[in-house]
């Protein structure tokens, strides 16, 4: 098997990129390794003869790698070496066990199809959120190396106490969904985010959007519970819709799979699909 390996050396769990490539080679793979900064060049001049793309990185690395795998029409395998590893948790991939993850990446055959969403500046797989999530992510960044995934919980607590609602206008496929003040707006692909939180999504082929309407701050505890155990979109005060195109006007910044970015026009679309190795 010929593997195109993409490594984000900036992810916390990547101590030795060469060791990752060597681990795949010992499992019989022919490995062509690249740093994540090469992704644009690889998409402009895609290599021939690739059987599988393997990405070693956190959630923010997965969307761009998935777009390359979709372009090459090959499966994507994930080595979850980031902080939250939300996609890996959602798909029940090996966590905190690099050897098991390497086995799956090199030898796994079971595939699951996942939508690739486009935030204009970057493709993503899990979620793009405005409001509390941006505040929480910025608060969590300095805590990641000390607390790991718990940094997101600490950031969420800080956001719940200090953040203020946003004035937003949300539409799905051109139809108005919500206009007013909201604590948070979540645009979801897989719906996984925040080190174990989730938004229940109906089916592949479209984006889900959930608006946490502004109200008493004490309601955020119930929202947080819904994010952890499911059922958030069924709660009173949460507006839910689906569409292939979602626009969120008002906020400047979004948390896109763990990275805070400015999204042009607040416009999100379904872009493609990727087959992820899961077993």
* Cα dihedral 262, 264, 266, 269 sign: negative
Specify the pLDDT at position 80.
Answer: 95
pLDDT of residue 48: 94
Contact 126, 208 (CB under 8 A): no
Give the DSSP H or E segment for 181: strand 175-188
Separation CA 190–CA 172 (nearest Å): 17
Terminal C-alpha separation, the chain:
17
pLDDT at 227: 85
- The class level of CATH for 123-273 reads mainly beta
Question: CB-side exposure of 195: number of CA atoms within 13 Å?
Answer: 20
Percentages (nearest 5) of helix, strand, coil residues in the chain? 35, 35, 30
Structural tokens at position 56: 């070693």
How long, in residues, is the chain?
Answer: 279
Q: What is the DSSP letter of 177?
A: E
pLDDT, position 204: 76
- What does the DSSP assignment read for 230-254? S-GGGSTTEEEEEESEEEEES-SEE
Which are the contacts of 229, defined by CB distance < 8 A and separation ≥ 6? none
Helix (H) or strand (E) holding 97: none
Domain chopping of the chain, boundaries: 2-109, 123-273
User: Cα separation of 186 and 211, whole Å?
Assistant: 7
**Nearest-angstrom CA–CA distance, 55 and 3:** 10
Between CA 108 and CA 277 the distance in angstroms is: 6
Phi, psi dihedrals of residue 262, rounded to the nearest 5°: -90, 125
Please state, in angstroms and rounded to a whole number, the distance separating the CA atoms of residues 106 and 126. 24
Report the sign of the C-alpha dihedral through residues 134, 17, 118, 193, in that order. negative
Using CA atoms, how far apart are residues 106 and 101, in angstroms rounded to an integer? 9
- Of 55, 64, 91, nearest to 198 by C-alpha is 91
> Distance between CA atoms of 73 and 64, rounded to whole angstroms?
14
Residue 7 contacts residue 53 (beta carbons within 8 Å): no
Tens of pLDDT along the chain (279 residues) come to 999 999 998 776 677 889 999 999 999 999 999 999 999 999 999 999 999 999 999 999 999 999 999 999 999 999 999 888 999 999 999 998 999 999 999 999 999 999 999 998 899 999 999 998 888 878 766 666 666 666 666 666 766 677 789 999 999 999 999 999 999 999 999 988 866 777 877 667 899 999 999 999 988 889 888 888 888 899 999 999 999 999 999 988 999 998 999 999 999 999 899 999 999
The model's pTM: 0.90
Q: Contact 131/174 with Cβ under 8 angstroms?
A: no
DSSP H helices in 36-81 = 39-44, 59-72
User: Does domain 2-109 sit in CATH 3.40.50.10330?
Assistant: yes
Q: Given this model, what pLDDT does residue 235 score?
A: 94
């Amino acid at each position: 098997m010929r593997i195109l390996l993409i490594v984000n050396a900036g992810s916390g769990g990547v101590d030795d990129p060469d060791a990752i490539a060597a681990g795949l080679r010992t499992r019989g793979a022919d490995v062509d390794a690249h740093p994540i900064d090469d992704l644009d060049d690889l998409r402009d001049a895609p290599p021939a003869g690739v059987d599988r793309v393997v990405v070693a990185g956190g959630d923010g690395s997965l969307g761009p790698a998935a777009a390359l795998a979709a372009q090459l029409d090959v499966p994507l395998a994930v080595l979850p070496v980031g902080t939250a590893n939300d996609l890996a948790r959602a798909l029940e991939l090996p966590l905190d066990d690099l050897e098991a993850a390497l086995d799956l990446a090199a030898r796994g055959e079971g595939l699951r199809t996942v939508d690739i969403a486009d935030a204009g500046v970057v493709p993503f797989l899990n979620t793009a959120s405005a409001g509390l999530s941006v505040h929480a992510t910025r608060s969590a960044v300095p805590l990641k190396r000390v607390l790991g995934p718990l940094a997101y919980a600490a950031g969420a607590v800080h956001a719940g106490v200090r953040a203020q609602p946003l004035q937003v206008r949300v539409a799905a496929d051109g139809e108005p969904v919500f206009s007013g003040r909201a604590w948070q707006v979540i645009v979801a692909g897989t719906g996984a985010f925040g080190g174990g939180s989730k938004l229940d999504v109906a089916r592949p082929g479209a984006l889900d959007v959930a608006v946490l309407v502004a109200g008493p701050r004490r309601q955020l505890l119930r929202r947080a519970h819904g994010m952890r155990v499911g059922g958030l979109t069924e709660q009173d005060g949460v507006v839910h819709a689906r569409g292939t195109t979602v626009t969120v006007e008002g906020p400047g910044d979004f948390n896109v799979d763990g990275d805070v970015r400015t999204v042009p026009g607040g416009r999100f679309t379904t872009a493609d699909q990727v087959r992820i190795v899961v077993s």
